[in-house]
Chains A and B, each alone.
Chain A
Amino acid sequence: MTELITPALHQIRSGTRRHFFQSSGLGLGAMALQSMLAKDGFAASNPTANPLIPKQPMIAPRAKRVIYLHMAGSPSQLELFDDKPELKKLHMQDAPASFLEGKRFAFIRGVPKILAGQFEFARHGQSGQVVSELLPNLAKVIDQVCVIRTVTTDQFNHAPSQLFTHTGSPRLGGASIGSWVTYGLGSVNQDLPGFVVLLSGGKTPDAGKSLWGSGFLPSVYQGVQCRTTGDPVLYLGDPPGMDRDLRRRMLDTLAEMNQAEFQRSGDAETITRIAQYELACRMQVSVPEVMDISQEPQHVLDLYGAKPGFVSQAESADDPRQLYKGDDPTFANNCLLARRLIENGVRYVQLYDWGWDHHGSSLGESIDETLPIKCQQTDRAIAGLITDLKQRGLLDETLIVWGGEFGRTPMMQNNVRSELKKGYIGRDHHPFAFTMWMAGGGIKGGLAYGQTDEFGYYPVENKVSIRDLQATILHVLGLDPYQFHYTYQGLDQRLVGPTEEGRVLKDILA
């Protein structure tokens, strides 16, 4: 009887066999093993595959890797990118009924007042793009950046919206876009994880680890959080007193005994385990090395505003909002790390910076006082990242994405106070139109894409959905967003969802 290979079965087999014979990144010990096994005629009968070896893209790629900068909490587009003089005219007047009818807000109650943009805008670069005074460094490299002012989402709470943006589903259980990309393309450097996550701002984003979870994809594709305090990867460091030589001797003994077990049992999983211990041992060296930004020359550190070894107080604070300082370099350090990681072959680097939820309802979360601090923490670092990648010739092959999970309302949030008070000026969640930007590989720099109405409330031209963005990211990386799928629970699961609504934004491609 010929066994029928259903799609589900095929997937399981390719996804769960984790043997590393064909890996290009094997150490000497494992190579020796491999030849030993070949002699036994074993390897020949074991067609095996490393799930993370680089794979051919499905279509011609425009970029090879991604650095995604997520500003968790959602920055205000009306203070950063979308200049609306009309709001100034109507400042502190009641919002028109059309803003409110049939709408549900997270915190706004009753009839809120219109809030003018709190900062000034000017045109920059050859492209003449409009950028806020809060982002003076980004303004200098704006010709590299495609600003999309008409992104919309259909979620207006943080956790579901973050999940929707990163996994294509507002509920838990989906696979993160970084997992999708690593599943589709593998990773270049086998000594480092293929999908790395870096956090700043003192807290995990609202939706937690699920944002970089592999969901229904095999768990090898989940994001590995690299930390800047403690072990950069959990359990990476040997205990005090265990030096490299001791560890090496111990692993050699372990390998010897495991080989003997393999001779007895004949189970290829044992060989995989030996290889994984070797890989772990190499990661113990390679990860701290790549994570050590103190190796960077001073001018590069300055370019980002990075400070090696800095431990932010916000990291251990009960409420980091009270501690935001403009010169906190945690995010800058992460941007520099992102460059080092992609330079070393990591496929997808995801940064989350917490602290952008500027409701104005309590101290340390306002548009007028906190937003400038958050901009100060990130502006130089982001511009530095673009400049650095450009100088190294990496910008053309690296896609950079910046944004939050939604935008902020043109109205002032009024649930706590309805008058203007310093340190308490805020805006509520706004899913209907907000700004994200992309730069680098495959993206038309200097383009201003999409227009919102005079209040910045709705898109009036070139509306862009989250699905469109996801489709575009996959397309740029050479993954056909409609063909690229994984069969799970009877459905061909795709990042862009079950319908064909997501479209590749051809207009913004270089």
Chain B
Amino acid sequence: MKFFNRLFLLLMPAFTQTAANAAEPVHFARDVLPVLSANCFACHGPDEHERQGELRLDVQADAKKFRKDQAAIVPGQPDQSLIIARMTSTDPDLVMPPPKSRKKVTPEQIDAIRRWIAEGAKWERHWSFEPVVKPAGSIDAIVVNALKKRGLALRPAASPQSLARRLSLDLIGLPPTPEMADKFAESFSPETYKQYVDQLLKSPQFGEHWARMWLDLARYADTKGYEKDLGRSMWPYRDWVVEALNADMPLDQFTAEQLAGDLLPNATQQQIIATAFHRNTMANDEGGTDDEEFRVAAVKDRVDTTIQVWMGLTMGCAKCHSHKYDPISNDDYYRFYAIFNQTEDADRYDDAPRLEVLTTQQKSQREELQGRVAELEIDLAVAERKAETFGKTKWFLWTPIQVTEAKSTNGATLTPDPDQAILVSGKSEVDDVYSLTILLNAGTYTALRLEAIPAKFADGRLGVGRNPADPNFVVSEIVVEQVDADSVRALKLKNARSDFSQDGWPVAAAIDGDTKTGWAVSPRSRERHVAFFDFAEPLKLDAETKLRITLTQAYGNRLTLANFRLSTSAADPTSLILPPDSPECRALRDELAATKKSLSDINVEIAMVPVMRELPTDKKRVTKIHKRGNFLDQGDPVQVALLTGFGPAKPDESLSRLSVAKWLVNQENPLTPRVWANRIWARLFGIGIVETEEDFGALGAAPSNPELLDLLAAEYRDGGWSLKRLLKTIVLSDTYRQSSEISASLQELDPRNAISSRGGRFRLGAEVVRDQALAVAGLLSSKVGGPSVMPPQPAGLWRSTYNGKTWVDAEGEDRFRRSLYTYLKRTTPYPSLTMFDAGSGEVCQIRRIRTNTPLQALVTLNDPVYLEAAAALAKRMVNQSDDADARVTYGLRLALIRPLYQGETEPLVRLQREVKSKFAESPEQAAAIIKSCRGNPGEMNSAEFASWIVTANAILNLDEFLTRK
């Protein structure tokens, strides 16, 4: 107790200093819990391995429990509470937090804790885990109330033209035209304002703009990541997002389709495409990598991303140990992980499972070509038969052999037909040996013929082999033996020849005694083929003789004959002629090859989207805890469960990804609506109500206006999870419409606009910066969706190891598509976008931290995209009028939308004049600049046109142009 007395004296000054604030009661969740979590929970929190002194300060009962007559917190008795004693101790061995932790509690914070204890130490949960309670009042009432406390009021509304630009950039990511803005201003009324908003919300560009925010969260990219970083077709998923947003798909459905579309009853193709959300995880194709390692990494990424995106919590730490600050234990992590650990994908090279997504055009084209191939194959078979019958092949010189016994060593069924052809059916093993017994009449035999005859597969197509995927055959060896009563004598064959042999698989290889070689016929494996073999010595038989013919087909892959016939001839071998290639056959073959090529070209173009598919019940994985996050060091098996720290969630075998989706958007879940409402607010004001959009846990920032956040969260959740409705509610408020000008006093009182004391003023996002320049220049394409495109980027950037794909600058429309459609290669993202803080899609990006750097200035000054935009804008300006001032006015209005101030055009008019006279002295410079900007001066003199390009270049670099205000 002596110790406490000493302490009390030391504490006195601090105590009196802050006593002035004592009028307002202390809020545990706001004033105390953040101090405890930031400074104490690492050692006295949820993580059982790090816990010191068996004390938990995150659990009320433990914090207030008496041990040896002492407790960390004694309600009403700050001087009896150990926490105060330890925090204020001057003894380095006793003071908390300990010096080596680098953490420090300020006297004000200690005072808050002291007062909270004095006021009864009422416990609350962390603010974001408490239920969302809809407060009374509107956005404006709540904001005005908060401003009033600081002696502030709402700012007056911005001008109608400014609002027209602000709304358009916020809702569709593109500027309006000055004409639209003027019309909006002329008829400005609450009603027309609402109509303008509705019109923007209905525009197809709405989805394109808001998709970008979602795709950052979804870690969308067009490649797989890591070393090879090969391409994959994710764009149908991107188009799904655009469509879902345009259709204002409610968040609960948006969630269910993306997390578990494949598990929905009668899932549609679109719902399965939606599951590509979690196939945006990276895959590693580097030689020798352990697929399981990267599969596990992808599943963990799915878990982390899900919780981060919907609940604003970080799961990452719980992979290795229980979360130090938030109620997510190590066990919780792997129970939740177990739900996601049951999908088929496994970091395979082909990204399986994938879904084929055909455009309507591809679909009809492919069907047409497939039909044509089938027709041609039949036509060709007929034509070949005709060529043989009526040509010079002297078919009458051959006699089909009647087989007395036909056997397959691997269980196939061999059935002779009336024409003596033998059809093979039934069991189809990878390889086979056909053994045929025949009786030959007395006579002389000079040659043997083998015909491979196309047979029909179940799908109606023809093939000479039995594997529908590769209907080729390989006759490894053909052996003829004479079987007498007491001996078997091999009859040698020679002079093998055929109508066609595959490269490297000549017919001679069928009689070379080596079963590793053989005769095959790819790619003409859907046509009839013929091979002749002469007997080395003419076979002279005095009586009926038994022969055995053995066809060994040892290649594998089911490349065995489907239908064949054997014949003999007695004629002079030189008179035996193979079927010729009639002109008709050749023409059909050429057309068949060309059609097949078109078909395979289409098949290459068809998007194969990686999707989620649940493993069959008998192949489910057993999930175990990964010790310290290491997948090679696994501990006890776990049962699936949702996160227990957020409500009752018993382990339940029937839990699936669909259960997760439902749980995330459950009406009781306080985090999802808050996180989402905050995210939307941040896009419109430049800063979230909770600034740390990514962290709603104990370490995140506290909400600047908790009532406002709960109002928006409740509106969103109770308004059918409609994003458009939420956006409309916000943009119709006076708070949103405020002017963004900053006075010195505002700068002092609310420097970061955290309490919405004005309209937001911040630099546009990367994509909007580029799209706006293209739009103002009149270059922007309005084409929606489809494969990603490659607008110009500096040469030589794509240098990835072992990746043959190259960047080819697009020409025509694709050069000027919205930035959403720019091909995103994870290891080399589009440079001008990343310089404006766009991500690489490697991991989930909750928000982009805005930067303001010299490299950005270089982009808008010199990137060919902006140079071409400058030339196009120059053209629009000079086409508008013959008067310099009118041209500048037009250019400025296109860019800034608002009416101009007195004398505002003057600096640009002056610049243009000076630059023109300089170019007049140096026409080659003017020509060079026009050329590099792909400008078209038309009738205009080069010096003048080039000066307008420079002027337009300046306009496209104005701070106001790059800023949303």
Contacts and interface: CB of A to CB of B under 8 A. Distances in A.
Interface centre among A8, A15, A230, A236, by most B CB within 10 Å? Answer: A8
Interface stretch (B171-179, B188-196, B472-480, B848-856): B848-856
A156 B834 CA distance: 30
Interface string A217-234: 011100010010111011
Contact of A206 (B227, B744, B953): B227
Interface stretch (B62-70, B461-469, B908-916): B908-916
A462 interface: no
A9 B854 contact: no
A225 B516 CA distance: 54
Contacts of A277: 854, 857, 957
A354 B800 CA distance: 11
A507 interface: no
Interface in B587-622: none
Contact of B927 (A105, A241, A256): A241
Interface stretch (A117-125, A243-251, A291-299): A243-251
A106 B290 CA distance: 9
B24 A1 contact: yes
A362 to B, nearest CB: 11
Given A209-B828, A489-B316, A490-B326, A235 B794 contact: yes
B269 to A, nearest CB: 31
Contact of B929 (A107, A242, A262): A242
A110 interface: no
Nearest to B863: A235
Interface centre among A2, A264, A274, by most B CB within 10 Å? Answer: A2
Contacts of A261: 958-960
B31 interface: yes
Contact of B950 (A246, A267, A268): A246
Contacts of A233: 855, 858
B323 interface: yes
A208 B742 contact: no
B314 interface: yes
Given A7-B38, A258-B958, A277-B857, A219 B849 contact: yes
B65 to A, nearest CB: 27
Interface string A273-316: 11011011001100000000000000000000000000000011
Given A241-B928, A274-B959, A218 B849 contact: yes
B203 interface: no
Contacts of A490: 314, 316-317, 323-326, 695, 697, 699
A250 B857 CA distance: 13
Interface string B680-704: 0000000000011011010111100
Interface centre among B226, B740, B837, B965, by most A CB within 10 Å? Answer: B226
Contacts of A269: 761-763, 852, 959, 963
A166 to B, nearest CB: 14
B828 A208 contact: yes
A265 B742 CA distance: 6
A443 to B, nearest CB: 28
Contact of B297 (A16, A171, A241): A171
B840 A210 contact: yes
B741 A264 contact: yes
Contact of A237 (B699, B851, B862, B928): B862
Interface stretch (B281-289, B490-498, B543-551): B281-289
A220 B851 CA distance: 7
B288 A235 contact: no
Interface in B375-412: none
Interface string A200-219: 00111111111001000011
A6 B700 CA distance: 7
Given A207-B827, A279-B854, A241 B289 contact: no
B794 A231 contact: yes
Contacts of B931: 240-241
B316 A218 contact: no
A235 B861 contact: yes
A253 B918 contact: no
Contacts of A284: 858
Contact of A491 (B227, B317, B908, B927): B317
A210 B959 CA distance: 30
Contacts of B31: 4
A246 B326 contact: no
Contact of B286 (A206, A245, A274): A206
Given A157-B286, A210-B827, A260-B904, A246 B918 contact: yes
B804 interface: yes
Interface in A25-50: 40-42, 45-46
Interface string B854-874: 111111011100010000000
A487 interface: yes
Interface in B938-965: 946, 950, 953-954, 957-960, 962-963, 965
Nearest to B288: A106
A158 B227 contact: yes
A249 B914 contact: yes
A237 to B, nearest CB: 7
B414 interface: no
Interface residues of B, number: 116
A490 B918 CA distance: 58
Contacts of A354: 801
B851 A243 contact: no
Contacts of A9: 691-692, 701
Contact of A266 (B323, B744, B801, B863): B744
A483 B102 contact: yes
B668 to A, nearest CB: 24
B743 A266 contact: yes
Given A230-B794, A240-B928, A257-B958, A204 B908 contact: no
Contacts of A256: 907
A15 B853 CA distance: 13
A494 to B, nearest CB: 12
A256 B906 CA distance: 11
Interface string A326-364: 000000000000000000000000000010000000000
B842 interface: yes
Contacts of A2: 21, 108
Given A265-B742, A266-B747, A489-B314, A240 B911 contact: no
Nearest to A20: B852
A310 to B, nearest CB: 15
A230 B700 CA distance: 44
Nearest to A10: B701
A231 B861 CA distance: 14
Contacts of B804: 318
Interface in B887-939: 901, 904, 907-908, 910-911, 914-915, 918, 924-933
B229 interface: yes
A4 B113 CA distance: 13
Interface string B118-152: 00000000000000000000000000000000000
Interface centre among A160, A243, A264, A318, by most B CB within 10 Å? Answer: A160
A268 B744 CA distance: 11
A139 to B, nearest CB: 31
Given A208-B800, A260-B901, 6 more contacts: A12-B691, A157-B289, A231-B794, A241-B928, A284-B858, A316-B796
Interface of B: 21, 24, 30-31, 34-35, 38, 102, 108-109, 225-227, 229, 282, 284, 286-290, 297, 314, 316-317, 320, 323-326, 691-692, 694-695, 697, 699-702, 740-744, 746-748, 751-752, 761-763, 794-796, 799-801, 804, 826-829, 831-832, 834-835, 837, 840, 842-843, 849-859, 861-863, 867, 901, 904, 907-908, 910-911, 914-915, 918, 924-933, 946, 950, 953-954, 957-960, 962-963, 965
14 contacts: A1-B30, A45-B744, A107-B287, A159-B286, A205-B801, A208-B229, A234-B831, A240-B929, A242-B929, A258-B959, A277-B854, A277-B957, A280-B858, A487-B699
Give 4 nearest A-B pairs by CB, closest first: A208-B827, A106-B288, A241-B929, A241-B928
